């Protein structure tokens, strides 16, 4: 009987001991699996071979008026006004032995990766780029860049800005003799000569638009004033300001020429 019990005990022990081996093997496999997973994650986050995306260059807005002279057909004076609404006014004045000619272009400008591009009817019209604090124009004809000189914009005159707040939309001045003219948003004209004590105020009767100018006509009794505004840059010879427009005023039979600006409302 004892021999039988002892044999059963040996048999039972022999049957239970092998069951512990799968547990140890599973533990080793689990450890191995964890290690392999960590190695895979390390491979995923390895950025040594990743090519960085190019950095887009920012462009400082060139708001204001600039000028340069290019040796083209004798000489060409380029003056451009950049506005903060992404529009521009470009004037190219060609000086030669025969006759001066002026080309006026208006369109939009846009920055792109460090370069300022001019557009006219979706066609590239010019290219500019900053070099330090200096704006430069690149001439594709001469294959060379030219430094632009910043100018003082008469539209930034504090006195005139206050007049705009009061409703004035067009301002003009002239010398020899001194005169000035203002047109407000209510279609009223004010004209003053230096020898007058009070300005002459007249209601505007009509306006006109030609290919290269805009004008207004005001009449009262025996007085007629005709104002013609051209989109040409102008200097009054008395200050450092540059005006966006040339203005011609015909007061009855007298003609006055000067400079001015039209404030777009």
pLDDT at 50: 59
pLDDT at 54: 55
pLDDT at 223: 93
Query: What backbone torsions phi and psi does residue 41 show, to the nearest 5 degrees?
Result: -65, -40
Do residues 147 and 161 both lie within one domain? no
pLDDT at 121: 94
Do residues 146 and 165 both lie within one domain? no
- C-alpha dihedral over 6, 9, 14, 19, to 10 degrees? -170
Query: Would you say residue 57 lies in a domain?
Result: no
| Residue finishing a domain among 91, 123, 153 | 153
Query: Would you say residue 8 lies in a domain?
Result: yes
Query: Would you say residue 54 lies in a domain?
Result: no
pLDDT at 11: 42
Do residues 162 and 247 both lie within one domain? yes
pLDDT at 265: 52
The whole domain housing 96 covers 64-153
Q: pTM of the entire structure?
A: 0.73
CATH number at residue 231: 2.40.128
Do residues 235 and 147 both lie within one domain? no
Do residues 109 and 145 both lie within one domain? yes
Query: Minimal CA–CA distance to 69: which of 45, 37, 91?
Result: 91
d(Cα 251, Cα 249) in Å, to the nearest integer?
Answer: 6
Which residues are bridge partners to 215 per DSSP? 208, 228
pLDDT at 157: 85
Express each pLDDT in 96-111 by its tens digit: 766 778 999 999 999 9
Do residues 15 and 92 both lie within one domain? no
pLDDT at 47: 53
Domain count, the chain: 3
Express each pLDDT in 15-44 by its tens digit: 444 444 444 444 444 444 343 434 444 445
Q: Which residues of the chain have pLDDT under 70?
A: 1-57, 97-98, 264-265
Query: Would you say residue 7 lies in a domain?
Result: yes
| Residue finishing a domain among 110, 126, 153 | 153
Do residues 167 and 146 both lie within one domain? no
pLDDT at 186: 85
pLDDT at 139: 95
């Amino acid at each position: 009987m004892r021999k039988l019990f002892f044999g059963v005990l040996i048999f039972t022990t022999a049957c239970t001991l092998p069951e512990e081996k799968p547990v140890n093997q599973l533990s080793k496999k689990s450890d191995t699996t964890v290690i392999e997973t960590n190695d895979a994650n390390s491979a995923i986050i390895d950025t040594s071979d990743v090519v960085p995306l190019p950095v887009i260059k920012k462009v400082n807005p060139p708001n204001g008026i600039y000028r340069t002279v290019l040796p083209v057909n004798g000489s060409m004076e380029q003056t451009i006004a950049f506005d903060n609404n992404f529009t521009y006014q470009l004037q190219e004045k060609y000086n030669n032995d025969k006759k001066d000619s002026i080309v006026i272009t208006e369109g939009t400008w846009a920055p792109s990766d460090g370069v300022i591009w001019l557009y006219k009817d979706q066609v590239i019209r010019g290219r500019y780029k900053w070099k330090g604090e200096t704006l430069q124009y690149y001439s594709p004809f001469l294959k060379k860049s030219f430094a632009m000189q910043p100018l003082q914009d008469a539209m930034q005159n504090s006195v005139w800005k206050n007049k705009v707040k009061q409703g004035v939309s067009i301002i003009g001045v002239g010398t020899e003799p001194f005169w000035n003219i203002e047109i407000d948003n209510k279609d009223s004209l004010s004209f003053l000569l230096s020898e007058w004590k009070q300005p002459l105020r007249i209601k505007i009767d009509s306006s006109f638009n030609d290919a290269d100018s805009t004008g207004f006509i005001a009449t009262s009794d025996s007085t007629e004033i005709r104002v013609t505004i051209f989109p040409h840059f102008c200097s009054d010879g008395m200050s450092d300001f540059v005006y966006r427009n040339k203005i011609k005023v015909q007061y009855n039979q007298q003609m006055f020429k000067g400079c001015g600006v039209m404030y777009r409302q």
